[in-house]
Amino acid sequence: MALTAIETGILGILDRFAYQVKAMALAGTGGTDVWTRVDAVGDETFENRVKGVNGTALDAAILAMNLGDLPEMKTWLADLDTYCTTDAAASHINGYLTDRQLRLDYVCKDIIETLLGPNNISIANVHGPADGGAAAPGVALGDFTKGGSLVAGTALDPLLCATSAVLARVTALGVADWTLSITCRLADDTTKVIGQVISGTGAGGAVGDTYVVGRQAIGSGAASGQAIVSVAATAQFKVGQTVLITQWSGSPPNETWLEQEWGVVKTIVTNTSLELEDNLLHTYTTAGFVYPCFEAVTVCSDSGGTAGDRVYFYPAADRRLKL
């Protein structure tokens, strides 16, 4: 069973909303904000009247770009919620996602809950505020330049979203291949150290390349209705960890998503397979992948590469966020 056209349509629309919010927030970042401009006037009466908490709140709202505040968005989301309950026989949008083991970007959760109220989308159905590319970046988990130390970013908040796959986006790159040793923290505060080779320009690499840290190709396929997923390497996985199983056709950035779901690891046969707590909903071939999910990037070291090589770490979107 593959994702239906309705499922991919709904996911594509909701992912677009998350992308738009991030792109607008990026466009609104920088310059001189309201609070600073008011403060620069130098008139105490004026400042006391229009600065304070209201000015700070306005600056935050401009950067948040919550599409859920638009009346047209609220009307459309109400229509989608009606479809999920009346036509798809699910328990609202959240139940639709739960039934299909699908997740939304945290930014989209925020939009939906503006309409439905807080805590209407389960944490398990939400991945972190993910990278949507240079025009719509997600929350930075960290920043690493060759030979340096990790510049810490923002860890995912387990009260807001589930763990997510980690994406490394290359922002500066030389000729030589660059090997990273990346320490990622799980939800239980344990860590996994994962090696990641970044291809230099001499091997066809380029600025803007992205790597999902620790991803594993599915070995001999994985059939729906059972819980075993074969993989060649298992060191990056742990019992109790959330993983994303995914498969697409076509080439980035115009992939067509065929199957996708998240699961929780129940048992591991070293360098052979993962057993999930629940049976798979979809069938995956050797073109599919399993992504380990984490809460933060805590340490990074390196070898090889070229002076100035640099990557940023972000939550990886379950699917590519795009307009």
165-223 pLDDT, tens per residue? Answer: 999 999 999 999 999 999 999 999 999 999 999 999 999 999 999 999 999 999 998 99
pLDDT at 141: 98
pLDDT at 289: 97
pLDDT at 37: 84
Range of 89's domain? 5-127
Nearest to 301 by CA among 191, 192, 140, 145: 145
Whether 294 contacts 184, CB under 8 Å = yes
Does 299 lie in the same domain as 240?
yes
Does 166 lie in the same domain as 104?
no
Does 109 lie in the same domain as 169?
no
Does 232 lie in the same domain as 115?
no
pLDDT at 112: 92
Does 216 lie in the same domain as 293?
yes
pLDDT at 59: 80
Exposed, middle or buried, 86 (CB in 10 Å: 0-12/13-18/19+)? exposed
Assigned domain for 139 exists: no
Helix (H) or strand (E) segment spanning residue 199: none
Exposed, middle or buried, 257 (CB in 10 Å: 0-12/13-18/19+)? buried
Does 301 lie in the same domain as 153?
yes
N residues, the chain:
323
**Residue 19 carries which side chain, given as an amino acid letter?**
Y
Assigned domain for 268 exists: yes
Low-confidence ranges of the chain (pLDDT < 70): 1, 51
Total domains present in the chain: 2
Taking the C-alpha atoms of residue 284 and residue 273, their distance in angstroms, rounded to an integer, is: 14
Taking the C-alpha atoms of residue 260 and residue 104, their distance in angstroms, rounded to an integer, is: 12
Does 225 lie in the same domain as 102?
no
Whether 284 contacts 229, CB under 8 Å = yes
Does 170 lie in the same domain as 307?
yes
Paired with 256 in beta bridges are: 249
